[in-house]
Amino acid sequence: MKKTGDNSRRDFLKKSGATLAVGALFPTIWVKKSYASTKDVVLGHNAHRYRVVEGWGVLDAGKNPVNDCHEMVEDTKGRLLLLTNETRNNVLIYDKSGKLLESWGTTYPGGHGLTLSQEGGEEFLYITDTDRNQVIKTDLKGKELYKFDYPKETGEYSHSGEFKPTETAVNPANGDIYVADGYGLNFVTQYNHKGEYIRHFGGKGDTDGTFDCCHGVLVDTRDRKNPTLLITDRSHMRLKRFTLDGKYLATIPVPGSFICRPVLKGNHIYAAVYRSTSQDYPNSGYITVLDEKDKVVSTPGGTEPIYTKGTLQEQRKDRSFLGFMHPHDVCVDADENIYVPQWASKKTYPLKLERV
């Protein structure tokens, strides 16, 4: 490492269920500038339903362009930080109304993963760059503090080009850092809070303990006594659960869904699905929500989750909504609204889904 309100919501849904159903069946769809969107459409299922906020976050592309909008996080001030691989402004910082507050970053051509960490009362960002073959720690103003190069200590890598990190996660209890090499050799490498190598596990394969695109990683703290790692096995359409020291525990199948990274909010896991297998590749993404029992309870922009004899049936995109092309991440704010950055989606800005 180199230094450098549930009850009121339910009442609302009961009273307005018929109206919402009509809106979902007969949406008005049009194209606005460079993206397709839907007016007054409600997406999702069961208690997790969302209204699309038309035009949220759309900026002057001449001044603040985006390329792939990869990931977004919320800081303690309620600001929304978006990472794009557009080097004219890699990080765009919004308020919740969609107003641009500031921007920074011109040196992340492969800006891909964005993780917010709170350390000693301060907030920091971990940016993974698949072109630079590095993980970069910065402050919220963009000052680079540390760089993690490819993990030579593992003995798995012969050169930096084999390391293409897609995501990081930080254990809030002790500051341990987990780096997922989803586009490289598919190892997850664990460091302590000082950036010192602890261990690695995984690698590319089809067994319980290996991955085919470990794209995202999360420290799941819902069980405070026994936190675990939740890791994407994207090409196998699964999430996998591991102990904090890398021992395999369980697999959560999500048939039809190529999940980018799991995001924890409250008792639920939220995730962007960048494509579905059962349809043509282009523009087949949606969002998925899992409960504390790892059961899919809502699929905004996708088909209703159905379980048969305890097994989730294959899901696909709901073609009545055209706003989702290739969702790459979700950011869930304090009001449980969802912001959706998208990859390979005609350089569009994130979508906002307002919970109803």
pTM of the model: 0.89
- Phi and psi at 205, nearest 5°, equal 170, -175
Domains present along the chain, CATH in parentheses:
33-355 (2.120.10.30)
- From first to last of its 356 residues, what are the pLDDT tens digits of the chain? 544 444 444 443 344 443 333 333 333 333 333 334 445 789 999 999 999 999 999 999 999 999 999 999 999 999 999 999 999 999 999 999 999 999 999 999 999 999 999 999 999 999 999 999 999 999 999 999 999 999 999 999 999 999 999 999 999 999 999 999 999 999 999 999 999 999 999 999 999 999 999 999 999 999 999 999 999 999 999 999 999 999 999 999 999 999 999 999 999 999 999 999 876 678 999 999 999 999 999 999 999 999 999 999 999 999 999 999 999 999 999 999 999 999 999 999 999 999 99
Q: What is the DSSP string of 36-60?
A: EEEET-EEEETTEEEEEETTTT---
- Phi and psi at 217, nearest 5°, equal -145, 140
CB 37 within 8 A of CB 54: yes
Whole-number Å distance between alpha carbons of 28 and 321: 9
- Residue-wise over 267-294: b if at least 16 C-beta within 10 A, else e? ebbbbbbbbbeeeeeebbbbbbbbeeeb
Whole-number Å distance between alpha carbons of 284 and 215: 18
Task: Give the pLDDT confidence score for residue 279 in this predicted structure.
Answer: 66
Task: Give the pLDDT confidence score for residue 75 in this predicted structure.
Answer: 98
Whole-number Å distance between alpha carbons of 118 and 201: 25
Enclosing H/E stretch for 31: strand 28-32
- Residue-wise over 73-91: b if at least 16 C-beta within 10 A, else e? bbeeeeebbbbbbbeebbb
Enclosing H/E stretch for 274: strand 268-276
Task: Give the pLDDT confidence score for residue 39 in this predicted structure.
Answer: 59
